[in-house]
Amino acid sequence: MITLKINGQDFSVDVDPATPLLWVIRDYAGLTGTKFGCGIAQCGACTVHLNGNPIRSCITPAQLAVGQEITTIEGIAPGDGALHPVQQAWIDEQVPQCGYCQSGQIMAAAALLEGNPAPSDADIDTAMAGIICRCGTYPRIRKGIKRAALAISASREEAGNG
């Protein structure tokens, strides 16, 4: 039995500690926004945050996440009914086409903006490398990240934290 903190909630699950975190999130916690893409950490569809850092949950043993904060796409919004700025930017810029990779894209973008609120194109390319979009919406992804960066900056200035 292991206990994981996912989106601020404790989940005690009876799984082999080597079970990929992805399957604990989806099958035991019932949070299906995180997607299975390749199972070998090559596509990024399974990206979640572990203590704020993006990881590939398809290859991360659940045991490695014990005692750490796991955030999925369902938990990234502030909790007041509003969307995370990256989620809102994705809607405003009409980023998704098929949408399958989008939870991974959003999680990677949110982590980027947490550490770098004004990323350059090169910063975006580096942070988003390995999150594959089979539909090729990369220009819209870049626009979405830049729009979210502006929204985050404006929000911080409004709150007096800019």
pTM: 0.94
Residue 157 above 90 pLDDT?
no
Residue 162 above 80 pLDDT?
no
Tens of pLDDT, residues 20-45? 999 999 999 999 999 999 999 999 99
- 54 Cβ contact partners less than 8 Å away, ≥ 6 residues apart: 47, 48, 107, 108, 111
Tens of pLDDT, residues 51-102? 999 999 999 999 999 999 999 999 999 888 899 999 999 999 999 999 999 9
Q: Where residue 159 falls among pLDDT bands split at 50, 70, 90?
A: confident
What is the spatial distance between Cα 49 and Cα 7, in angstroms, rounded to a whole number?
Answer: 10
Backbone region of residue 56 per phi and psi (left: phi > 0; alpha: psi in -120 to 50; beta: other values): beta
According to the model, what pLDDT value does residue 161 have? 61
Q: How many helices (H) and strands (E) does the chain have?
A: 5, 5
What is the spatial distance between Cα 54 and Cα 47, in angstroms, rounded to a whole number?
Answer: 6
According to the model, what pLDDT value does residue 156 have? 84
Mean pLDDT for the stretch of residues 131-139: 94
